[in-house]
Amino acid sequence: MRGIGPADAVVLPLDRWDVRVDWPQDPEGTDLGAYLDAHPEVTVLTNAGIFSTDLTPGGLLVADGQELRELNLADGGGNFHLKPNAVFAVHDDGTAAVVDSTVYDPTGVVHATQSGPALLLDGEVHPEFREGSENVAIRSGVGVSPDGRTVYLVATFRPVNLWDFATLFRDELGVDDALYLDGQISQLWVDGLSDDPLPYLGPYAGVITASPR
Number of domains in the chain: 1
Cβ burial of 11 (10 Å; 0-12, 13-18, 19+) is middle
Cα–Cα distance, 91 to 71 (Å, whole number): 17
Residue 210 φ/ψ, nearest 5 degrees: -140, 140
User: Would you write out the chain's pLDDT as a tens digit for each of its 213 residues?
Assistant: 888 989 999 999 999 999 999 999 999 999 999 999 999 999 999 999 999 999 999 999 999 999 999 999 999 999 999 999 999 999 999 999 999 999 999 999 999 999 999 999 999 999 999 999 999 999 999 999 999 999 999 999 999 999 999 999 999 999 999 999 999 899 999 999 999 999 999 999 999 999 999
List the domain range (segments joined by +) for residue 192.
2-212
